[in-house]
Amino acid sequence: MIASTPSPPYYAVIFSNIRSDVEKGYAETAQLMLELAEQQPGYLGHESVRDGLGITISYWKDLESIRLWKSQSDHQLAQQMGRDQWYTSYKTRICRVERDYGFEADQKE
Amino acid sequence: MIASTPSPPYYAVIFSNIRSDVEKGYAETAQLMLELAEQQPGYLGHESVRDGLGITISYWKDLESIRLWKSQSDHQLAQQMGRDQWYTSYKTRICRVERDYGFEADQKE
């Protein structure tokens, strides 16, 4: 569930969002966009959580990969639907991951 | 709930985590750390969601602000408690936010 990503530098797109009450088409489109993103060149992984506020972070090899995904035609349509129907507000932040570190507890049997 | 942040560049610390089943001390400490972070120089805001996976993103003016917060003594203790008790795994990513854009639906009365 925590994305496995290579050593920095790589890029992150943080998509913070608040949903509207329109359900129609949302879940299917979100799932489809995820499947399409995974096929894009430069896709490295993603993490997604919602509890009122939704945060989806996708990780990418470089800015060009992010640009190509943003302009992908099905994704363009989904972005338009998002603004028209599914979100009351969102903020997208394009970030360069400069450093990372992690922790894994010993596996307990 | 979506953090208001200034024009880029600024910095983001993405903390992706999985909790253990240890509850003792967690909620109080998380709340205290948030209050302490808000008082730190260079703190710009945060977003936090949990649904199994937890994602907390804090936003900062610069890398020096992040370094000072990481080394703050109460926070150091909380980080140690996190590794010892509260998390089974986490990943921290230090990012430079290079670009951002947002959307707000028209207010409907």
Nearest to B101 among A88, A92, A97 (CB): A92
**Any CB–CB contact under 8 A between A102 and chain B?**
yes
Q: What is the pTM of this model?
A: 0.95
Residue B108 pLDDT exceeds 90: no
Average pLDDT over residues A32-57: 97
Q: Say what the ipTM of the complex is.
A: 0.94
CATH number belonging to domain A10-97: 3.30.70.100
When the candidates are 3.40.50.150, 3.30.70.100, 2.40.50.100, 1.20.210.10, the CATH number that belongs to B13-97 is: 3.30.70.100
Domain extents for chain B?
Answer: 13-97
Q: Quote the tokens at residue B36.
A: 């302490």
Q: If you count residue pairs, one on A and one on B, with CB atoms under 8 Å apart, how many are there?
A: 133
CB contact under 8 A, A90 and B102: yes
Residue B109 pLDDT exceeds 50: no
Q: Which residues contact residue B43 at a Cβ distance below 8 angstroms, ignoring those fewer than 6 apart? A: B37, B58, B59, B60, B61, B65, B69
CB contact under 8 A, B2 and A90: yes
Structure confidence at residue B107 (pLDDT): 55
The string of pLDDT tens digits covering residues B20-65 is: 999 999 999 999 999 999 999 999 999 999 999 999 999 999 999 9
Task: Tell which residue, B76, B102, B108, has the closest CA to residue B1.
Answer: B102
